[in-house]
A and B are shown apart, each in its own frame.
Chain A
Amino acid sequence: MGEEEKKKSFLKTFKEVLDGFSEGRRESVIALTCKEVQELENIFSLLLLGAFVGFPAPPTFLAVELLPYMEREMRVLHYRAETSGDMLAELCGTLGID
């Protein structure tokens, strides 16, 4: 490998490291917002489909009307239902408490 190529490869790796670092920082900044979005989506689907778990629900047809477009929200709802057993641990994880 020539001197020039070594330099290029080093710079490329260095750039990748920096990119990764920046991405990591960015992800950690928005982690809380991501959780918030998920939580809001969860609330949205719970409000809409709450009749199934005993919440006061909007007119049923509204739920039926929107159901076709709610794939992601349903998945979030399902995920939240699965992990809700250990809410405290998740909260600690999100807020970075060890």
Chain B
Amino acid sequence: MKVIFYTGKGGVGKSTMAAATAVQLSKNHRVLITSLDPAHNLGDIFGVTLKDKQTKFASNLFLSEVDLQKRSREYLEREVDVLTRTYSYLHALNLTNYFNVLKYSPGIEEYALLTCIEETIRKGNDFDYLIFDTPPTGLTLRFMALPRVTITWIERLMQIRRQILDKRYTIQKVRGAPKEGENNPEIKLKYDEKDDDVLNRLKALDENYQSLNRLLQGEDCSVVLVFNPDLLALRESERLIEGLRDLGLPLRLLIDNKVTKDNEDTAGQVEKMLVRYFGKDIPVRRVELAVNIACQLGRCLYEIPEDLVSAL
């Protein structure tokens, strides 16, 4: 199973390129294309209405658009459930209202996105290719950095937690076993790593993120950068290349979209600059702008004559 992310500045044609690639790939492989962009237009490209579940478009091609708000809500609901089960005395209180506020707290949306990617990858074993159409640069870099940032935090927290357990162990040893009838929670503190719920949860999270990180940086993952022949797209693409390099994510293809006869020279320059900026050899594909597509009613948006798959 291969995973491909389509990234780039807003409006350069990420979704269209991702859709075109998916269609080309689906001739020989089973493909699932997932849109993570909150402003979905995957459905518009294929001319269907998509909900937050997989829809079969052709025998080998499946589509889905992620409802981020729904995902964040579901995630928080799950947490509230664990909370109310753990803190038994809170049963009477209506915590859901409090957690409605958390929905707007920074980070939850990126987390929902990441969980969604993870889930799609985990359940996507019967597909040959998983294609993700990502939101514009800023958000994409943020959620792609999330596994690494999180791992750093988890490691620090685990270190402190182990110190706490270590000290608790010392205390327990000096104090000796609790006497009969003693019910002070202070005396019965958990000191074994296996018994500590916080550490166990941290370990589980760590394991989860490490495997996601391995997958994102591995051989089977590719990032495709889509850009247009103009200065703004060039600058943002440079930032994206740098961001991806920092995160250790494998950029494998550049697509220069919306090239016409008039901007061919600019396209050439932009491509050259980006390849130079990337520093290594990387394939570049040029896609011509279909100027009068609106008049050609028979032609679909996702049918692009240029070959987009051979470099993947």
By a beta-carbon cutoff of 8 Å, the part of chain A in contact with chain B is 26-27, 29-30, 33-34, 36-37, 40-41, 43-44, 47-48, 51, 58-62, 64-73
Contacts and interface: CB of A to CB of B under 8 A. Distances in A.
Interface string B71-110: 0000110010011011100000000000000100111101
B160 A68 contact: no
Nearest to A29: B174
B167 A37 contact: yes
A59 B143 CA distance: 11
A37 B163 CA distance: 8
B185 interface: yes
A26 B205 CA distance: 38
A37 B110 CA distance: 34
A27 B184 CA distance: 15
B161 A44 contact: yes
28 contacts: A30-B170, A30-B171, A33-B170, A33-B171, A33-B174, A34-B171, A37-B164, A41-B164, A47-B156, A47-B157, A47-B160, A58-B150, A58-B153, A58-B157, A59-B153, A60-B106, A62-B153, A62-B154, A62-B157, A64-B79, A64-B102, A64-B108, A65-B201, A68-B83, A69-B198, A71-B87, A72-B185, A72-B189
Given A29-B174, A37-B167, A37-B171, A66 B198 contact: yes
| Interface size grouping (class) on chain B | 35 or more
A59 to B, nearest CB: 5
A40 B167 contact: yes
Contacts of B164: 37, 40-41, 44
Contacts, number: 87
Query: DSSP class of A's interface residues: helix, strand, loop or mixed?
Result: helix
Query: DSSP class of B's interface residues: helix, strand, loop or mixed?
Result: helix
Contacts of B176: 26
B79 A59 contact: no
Interface string B153-184: 11011001101100110110011100000000
B127 interface: no
B149 interface: yes
Q: What are the nearest 6 A-B pairs in CB distance?
A: A69-B197, A58-B153, A60-B107, A61-B111, A68-B86, A68-B82
Contacts of B170: 30, 33
B205 A65 contact: yes
Contacts of B163: 40
Contacts of A47: 156-157, 160
A39 to B, nearest CB: 10
Contact of A60 (B86, B102, B167, B201): B102
Given A68-B79, A68-B83, 12 more contacts: A26-B175, A33-B167, A33-B170, A40-B163, A40-B164, A59-B107, A59-B111, A60-B108, A62-B153, A62-B205, A64-B108, A69-B86
Given A33-B167, A36-B167, A59-B150, A69 B160 contact: no
B79 A70 contact: no
A80 B87 CA distance: 21
Contacts of A51: 105
